[in-house]
Structure 1
Amino acid sequence: MSGNDPTPSHAEYGSRRAEEGRLAWLRDPSLLSLCLASVGVVVLAGLVQVSFGSYPMSITQAWQSVTDTDVLLDARWTLQFLLEEELMRTITGFQGAELPELTTETLIVWNIRLPRVLVAAFVGMNLAVSGAIFQAVTRNELASPYILGVSSGAGLLILLSLVVFSGLSAFLPLVAALGGAVAFLIVYAIAWQNGTSPVRLVLAGVIVSTVFQSLQTALFFFADDLGVVQTAIQWTTGSLTGVGWTQVRMVLPWTVLSMLLAVLGARQMNVLLLGERTAKSLGVSVERVRFGLSGVAVLAAAASIAVAGIVSFVGLIVPHLVRTVVGSNYRKLVVGCLFAGPALMVGADVGARLGLLAITGSNGGQMPVGIVTGLVGGPYFLYLMRKKRDLGEI
């Protein structure tokens, strides 16, 4: 074969076939269907969400505002939303002048309502992937940030920052990550007896969650400001009330980092599911991988708790739902959670709005989204317990 012959060599052909085999899971029809359906739910629920408020809009008006080309085709607006106006002007050199005027509907949607949808999507994504990672690390399908005490630990330190150390409010994601990590280490230490078991991990998580929730309640007695107490209650119930671009900027970088690490760690999660003995025979340092993946899960959960408080059951429900559709391959499971998590969270937030509208008749009411996820997650958890006799280990 001459040097100019375009026909690939056997080595090149084999390498290409191997690469195609590694990426074949991306063409799984069930995974593609799940992702497309989730995107559809997010778009539809998001449009319903941005049409709510004291300034009512139709779905058509909401869609026109979200897709307003005056915003989408002007990088200055995008940079202002994501980076704040001062940094936008520094980057673009657009000094002294005002940005082009937008319609009232577009200003309301982009400044006030759309950030809530984005935060809900990021929170759902983080909690779903965090739950999936914990289920792989512990080989326990009951594991989640909420049940393993991570949410309670992160929430406790956030409340402590709000009530006692208010100067740390700018570092809430780091504070939440520290609290979640400490809680998980305590759970693991309690459950460890020459190894762990699914039952011991769940029981230890319940113990730590109960203690930390009691400490959260105790902190209310040290808050003199009624506004701080109301904010603390929102944290403990999980709420998206009042979130804006500040929260988007707070959660976005941690979400990107943790989701990227989760996708890259999918292969290690698959290996962990084979059992410690098999994983070690394949050359995997089980404890090191388990610790690293747990850190990613804690970071993802903490980023969500820092902007939305303690939202229960999302990390438990979504991995189960995705697993029933795409199977237990974590390469597909993690990607599925990236899409299904936002769908559940944005849908639950809209459900909270519609439920309050049906009860009170008020279009501008706000209900904590954690109430809806708890009402959905509790019965689903009971359903799992009744349906699966071997519930626990994956």
Structure 2
Amino acid sequence: MPETAPEGVSSSRTETDRDRFSLVDSKLLSVCLGGSLIVFISGFVQISFGAYSMSFGEAWRALFDTTVLFDYRWLLNFLLGEGLLETLTGYRAGELPELSTATHIVWNIRLPRVLTAIIVGVNLSVSGAIFQAVTRNELASPFILGVSSGAGLMILLVLTVFSGLTTILPLIAAIGGAIAFLLVYVIAWNHGTSPVRLVLAGVIVSTVFGSFQTAMFVFTDDIAVVQQAISWLNGSLTGVNWQHVRIALPWSAVSVGLAYLSSRQLNVLLLGEQTASSLGMSVERVRFGLSGIAVLAAAASIAVAGIVSFVGLIVPHVVRNVVGSDYRKLMIGCVFVGPALMIVADVGARLALSPVQLPVGIVTGLIGGPYFLYLMRRKENLGEV
């Protein structure tokens, strides 16, 4: 007679399979497909139009140019840089096959901007979703714990005082955000922390650091420095290249991967501190670790695009309204919706007033403000997760 599994084991497997398949439902699938479609269409518009305009057919042929796609050396040059290309293959970038003008513009100028927008959108959305669970407040954003103010202050210090460090400005911005987060946690600590104390400490640090930023603007005479700083503080993707993609991609992969693996802890944290503790969770350790993941994701975006407002605030809220509060689904939805919002905003920032390019943070702010005014009029319990 064939052996049969014990009843308990069979039941456990059935529950596991049901739990796995429950992740994929029509709502989540529609969010993923809709976000992917918006990313594709907006990204294709982004690579087709600009100072050097081309038809959609020309842009398509340039994007799928076999000179690039079938030559691993070009791909290594883009993804790893000229130094590693030469180390791994012995080829220098100048020795690679020549690209057509359209292919050069698409692959070296416009495609990196699209990819950077995708990375920034994913990072800010995931970071915002984590902060909203940590603070149990759906109005929390990646910068509620002072990350943006710390990064902005360090940017201004480098641009106005330590100009010799401008070559590592992205790294300096990330360090500033991490320092601000640690300062917020120290202020909020009193035999433990709480969502309310973290939010209040974030407001304190942001206010103080913001005052220092304003003071540095007042005492800076170099208009070029002021313009560069304003571009950083408002978020901008102007001038990004493959180096920015290489800077952000590894840290983004780590932070997003850790965020998804922490989905169950985030779900438990939403139940409240007492319930989470009764289930055996070390609330303070989990909250600190999750906040660290959120800071890492936000810092990766700040490092390449500056401070982009509202993306981390809007996207988790929109996804939550569609797929629910289960963080396993919420994280997946954020990965698709965040890039969609970011690319649409960047297309508007680059093409709306062409040839003048707006900081993308201005466009996301113009989108986010009316959206939350609509929510304020519609929902009575806005702010509670």
Q: TM-score, normalised by structure 1?
A: 0.89
Cα shift readout 1:258-313 (whole Å, capped 9, x = no counterpart): 11110111111001011111111111110000000000111111111111111111
Structure 1 Cα separation of the partners of residues 150 and 83 of structure 2: 35
In structure 2, what is the equivalent of residue 293 of structure 1?
290
Structure 2 Cα separation of the partners of residues 196 and 384 of structure 1: 29
Consecutive unaligned residues of structure 1, counting only runs of 5 or more, are: 357-361
1:143 partnered with 2:140: yes
Instruction: Supply the AA of the counterpart residue of 2:257.
Output: L
Of 262, 267, 280, which residue of structure 1 is paired with 2:264? Answer: 267
Structure 2 Cα separation of the partners of residues 180 and 208 of structure 1: 11
Structure 1 pair 153–74 and aligned structure 2 pair: CA distance change class (3 A): same
Of 328, 344, 347, which residue of structure 2 is paired with 1:347? Answer: 344
Instruction: Supply the AA of the counterpart residue of 1:336.
Output: G
In structure 1, what is the equivalent of residue 124 of structure 2?
127
Of 63, 73, 77, which residue of structure 2 is paired with 1:76? Answer: 73
Of 151, 155, 160, which residue of structure 2 is paired with 1:158? Answer: 155
1:17 partnered with 2:14: yes
Displacement of 1:195 in angstroms is: 7.0
Displacement of 1:36 in angstroms is: 1.1
Instruction: Supply the AA of the counterpart residue of 1:30.
Output: K
Q: Would the aligned equivalents of 2:234 and 2:359 in 1 still touch at CA under 8 Å?
A: yes
Instruction: Supply the AA of the counterpart residue of 1:375.
Output: L
Could you tell which deviates more after superposition, 302-311 or 25-34? 25-34
Structure 2 Cα separation of the partners of residues 37 and 141 of structure 1: 23
Q: Would the aligned equivalents of 1:198 and 1:393 in 2 still touch at CA under 8 Å?
A: no
In structure 2, what is the equivalent of residue 313 of structure 1?
310
1:371 partnered with 2:362: yes
Q: Would the aligned equivalents of 2:77 and 2:93 in 1 still touch at CA under 8 Å?
A: no
Tell me the percent identity.
Answer: 68
In structure 2, what is the equivalent of residue 257 of structure 1?
254
In structure 1, what is the equivalent of residue 45 of structure 2?
48
Q: Would the aligned equivalents of 1:163 and 1:222 in 2 still touch at CA under 8 Å?
A: no
SS at match of 2:95: coil
Structure 2 Cα separation of the partners of residues 174 and 335 of structure 1: 28
Displacement of 1:34 in angstroms is: 0.6
C-alpha RMSD of the superposition: 2.5
Structure 1 Cα separation of the partners of residues 9 and 98 of structure 2: 56
Cα shift readout 1:66-117 (whole Å, capped 9, x = no counterpart): 1222212221111101111231122123369822222210111101111111
> Matched residue pairs, number?
384
Structure 2 Cα separation of the partners of residues 373 and 309 of structure 1: 13
Structure 1 pair 197–99 and aligned structure 2 pair: CA distance change class (3 A): same
1:392 partnered with 2:383: yes
Cα shift readout 1:371-392 (whole Å, capped 9, x = no counterpart): 1011111122222223222222
Instruction: Supply the AA of the counterpart residue of 1:108.
Output: I
Displacement of 1:328 in angstroms is: 0.2
Structure 1 segment 224-239 matched on structure 2, within 5 A: 225-239=222-236
Structure 1 pair 8–103 and aligned structure 2 pair: CA distance change class (3 A): farther
Runs (4+) of structure 1 moved beyond 6 Å? 192-197
Q: Would the aligned equivalents of 1:191 and 1:204 in 2 still touch at CA under 8 Å?
A: yes
Could you tell which deviates more after superposition, 218-227 or 127-136? 218-227
Structure 1 pair 34–272 and aligned structure 2 pair: CA distance change class (3 A): same
Q: TM-score, normalised by structure 2?
A: 0.91
Displacement of 1:238 in angstroms is: 0.8
Structure 1 Cα separation of the partners of residues 61 and 214 of structure 2: 44
Structure 2 Cα separation of the partners of residues 28 and 219 of structure 1: 51
Cα shift readout 1:19-73 (whole Å, capped 9, x = no counterpart): 4234224322211111111111111101111122221112222222112222122
Q: Would the aligned equivalents of 1:146 and 1:313 in 2 still touch at CA under 8 Å?
A: no
Consecutive unaligned residues of structure 2, counting only runs of 5 or more, are: none
Structure 1 pair 145–307 and aligned structure 2 pair: CA distance change class (3 A): same
In structure 2, what is the equivalent of residue 359 of structure 1?
none
Instruction: Supply the AA of the counterpart residue of 1:383.
Output: Y
In structure 1, what is the equivalent of residue 327 of structure 2?
330
Structure 2 Cα separation of the partners of residues 211 and 21 of structure 1: 50
Q: Would the aligned equivalents of 1:25 and 1:332 in 2 still touch at CA under 8 Å?
A: no
SS at match of 2:352: helix
Structure 1 segment 179-218 matched on structure 2, within 5 A: 179-188=176-185, 201-218=198-215
